Structures are given as C-alpha cells and as structure tokens.
Amino acid sequence: MMLYRALLAIFPTLLTILHLPQATSQIHNGLSRRELLDQILKNSSHDPRIPPDYERDQPTNVTLQIHILSFDSINEGSMDYSINIYLREKWIDSRLAFMNYTKSDWLELDTRMLDQVWVPDVYFQNEKKAAFHNITVPNRLIHLYRNGTVNYSLRLSMTLSCHMFLDRYPMDSQSCPIIIQSYTYTTDNVVFSWTPFNPITTNTNMELPQFNFQKYEIVECRDVYEKRFACIMANFKLKRDMGYFILQVYVPSVLIVILSWISFWIDIGAVPARISLGVLTVLTMTTQSSGAQSSLPRVSYVKAIDVWMSICLFFVFTALLEYAYVNVQTRRAQNHPERYKTKTKSPDTSRLQPSESDRETATTVRKSFIAARQLDKFSRWMFPLMFILFNILYWCIYLHVD
C-alpha cells in the first residue's frame, strides 16, 4: 500500500518529464515567427555582449567564406588593390536554438536586430580604407537555424595594401594578401577558420584591366600584429596582362629604334637631315621612357621596363654618335679637296709635284673618307643584328616561368 501511494505521488512528475519535449514543441509551434524571435532573443541565457561559449571557457569557432564580386583596381604606385566582396560568417550559438519549432528551418532577422545578436569582431589587418554598402538598405543579412547556427553575410568594398615586387615589371606576377583577424577576442574565446569547401569564390565574368586572376592560396598567418588573436589569411595570385604594354610601350619603342637606323642610308653630306633624325629619335625615346615610368613608385632596384628603355635609348643615341664620327671624318676630306688626287708635273707647266708629306696627308684623308662610308655600311646590318640579339636575351630572361 505504501509503495502504491508513493507511485501515485511521483506519477504526475514522471508524466511531466516524459512529455516535456512534446509540451515544449507545442508551445513553440503555437508561436508566430515574430513571437519566437522575441522569446529567443529575450532568453535569460542569451547575452549579445559575450561569445556563445564564453562561460564554458571554450573558443567559438567562426568559419568564413569570401565571394569576390570584382577587383576594381590594382595600383602599383600606392601598392594596394581594391576589391568588392561578400563576407560570409558562420558559427553556432546554442543560446539561440529552437529545436522544437517546425514551421520553419531558419529565421531571417532584419538588419535592425543585429545589435541583439552576438557577431564576431572581424577586421582586415591590411585594410587602408573600406565602406559598407547602404543603398537602398544596409547590405547585410543574418539567418538563424534551429540548432543555433548563425549565418551572417555583408557586402564590403575595400582597398587593401599589397607589397609588390616590380623587378619583372611589366611581365610580373603579384601575390596580394587578405588578412582577417579578431580585434578583441584572443584564441581563448574566438577561433577563425576557412570553410572546408570553396572558401573563396569569384564571379565567372570577373575581369581585371591589366591582370589575370590565376588562383588563390590559403596560407598561415605569419608576421602579423598580435598573433594571440584569431587570424586567417589568403593570397591572390595575379598575372599581369602584357597586351597593353606591347601596344603602348614595346612596339612604339621598337619603331623609334628602327627609325634611327634610317640615318645610315642617308647621304653623308645631308647633315641637317641626319642630325635632325638622330636628335628627334633620342628625344622621342626619352619621352617614351618617362611616360612608361610615370605611374610607378620610385624603387631602388632595376625593373624589366628600365632595362628595355635604357637599351633602346642607348641604340638611338649610339646611332647619333655614329653620324658624329662619320661627319668628322668626312669634314677632314672636305677641308683638303686638292688632296683627293695625286699631283704630277705637266710638260707644258712649271707646276711642281706635291711633296712627300702632302702625299701622306692625301692618303690619310682618303682613308678617313672611305672609313666613314664603310662605317655607315657596317652600321646598316650591325645595329639591327645587335638589337635582335638583345631582344632574344631580354625576352628569354624575363618570360621564363616564375
């Protein structure tokens, strides 16, 4: 009898325990989505000021994924690049779970409710400037799933620093990083990681003005400020497109060098024509070199474009010096026209034969005149040959695979 009474006494309690999940489900299912959100966010255990696992002394794992909308510009002068992205973050906050609610698999929160949910304190360590997109509304969303998983996404436009090595410019490849860190929480409370599959994606029609996006690499965070804080990092591999430089730099400079060779085919006596052509090509080559360098930083090492412009300038300047030498040799002959022919004594005149010294001078003058003409003929094929050899060496050195 006493056992029977004891069972009757605890039966209501057992019945309540056995039916607790069902009762809870009935309570949740009877709520609208707005009422459910109010109940979850006002839960006494939920505090948006601290991470989900703060009280349990466990770090909250936040996985991140980036979708690149566009690379807007890559600036060698300021050593940075601009990018427009969707930043997506995911973590589990068990305080926001609603397992017994069957009307919806997830709840969509308005951006005005973001202050009521804990979100990671993400910042970009190599960011120079950035902006949220707020037209026509803030471009942010947050989805809350049954088990407490939170999906947070926002759109950002940023200018990030990128230290570039320009020794092979404009045939260079660059590696530009994106470094994401936690500003407040150390790894004791928050840990960052990339999503296992496709951590970085891009638009299929994304195009860059002067670069080709080759790939990205997930790398370890090294040499960053405050290593105690959560950090993830990726490098974007970019290969410069040569099309613009072929048309605007290399082809014009080749034509200027070839133009300077026309001087070798002009008569030695056409002094104004040859001098004008030589000076014109030197000045044009100098202007071309200045224009190619105007957008680049003043680095202390030699770039590929420096080698090209310097050698092209050397060729046109050497062509001008060649005529200076030819002109000097020709003027020596022109100043002694009487020495072109050997003088002989005529039977009907009393003119004396030239002296031995005059004969020697005449011989030297003739040799100088002939040497001047021979130098022009020699230069007609030697200059193109040397320029072709330079091109073979230049392109073989700078176009080899990195």
Residue scoring higher pLDDT (180 or 135): 180
CA pair distance 106, 96, nearest whole angstrom = 11
For position 234, what pLDDT does the model report? 94
What is the structure's pLDDT at 152? 95
Do strands 173-186 and 190-194 pair parallel, antiparallel, or not at all (unpaired)?
Answer: unpaired
Minimum mean pLDDT range among 55-64, 131-140, 330-339: 330-339
Most confident listed range (92-101, 112-121, 164-173): 164-173
Residue 185 has pLDDT above 80, yes or no: yes
Tell me the domain boundaries of the chain. Answer: 33-241, 244-342+357-398
| β-bridge pairing 60-75 and 190-194 | parallel
Q: How far, in Å, CA of 117 to CA of 152, rounded?
A: 10
Domain 33-241: give its CATH code: 2.70.170.10
* Residue 339 DSSP symbol: G
Token reading at 341: 């022919």
In single-letter form, the type of residue at position 152 comes to Y
Q: Please identify which residue in the block is written with the tokens 């060098």.
A: 257
Instruction: Give the dihedral sign, CA 33/38/42/47.
Output: positive
Spell out the residues 6+ positions from residue 168 whose beta carbon is closer than 8 angstroms to its own: 303, 304, 398, 402
Tokens of 268: 């030695």
How does residue 68 score in pLDDT terms, banded at 50, 70 and 90?
very high
Most confident of 4-13, 80-89, 114-123: 80-89
pLDDT in tens, 248-278: 999 999 999 999 999 998 888 888 888 899 9
- Give the Cα-Cα-Cα angle 65, 111, 127 (nearest 5 degrees): 45
The DSSP bridge pattern shows strands 149-161 and 140-145 to be antiparallel
The predicted pLDDT at position 391 comes to 96
Tokens of 272: 């104004």
What average pLDDT does range 148-167 have in this prediction?
94
If we measure between CA atoms, which residue out of 115, 119, 121 comes closest to residue 180?
Answer: 121
12 pLDDT tier (thresholds 50, 70, 90): very low
What pLDDT is stored for residue 394 in this prediction? 96
CATH 3.40.30.10 corresponds to the domain 244-342+357-398:
no
pLDDT at 401: 57
Global confidence as pTM: 0.76
Cβ neighbors of 185 (< 8 A, separation 6 or more) are 51, 120, 121, 229, 230
Write the DSSP assignment of 203-258 as a string of letters.
-TT---SSEEEEEEEEE---S-S-TTEEEEEEEEEEEE--HHHIIIIIHHHHHHHH
Given this model, what pLDDT does residue 206 score?
Answer: 82
Q: What is the pLDDT of residue 32?
A: 74
Q: Whose structure tokens read 């973590």?
A: 91
Predicted local distance difference test score (pLDDT) of residue 19: 36
Comparing CA positions, the residue from 228, 151, 145, 223 lying closest to residue 182 is: 228
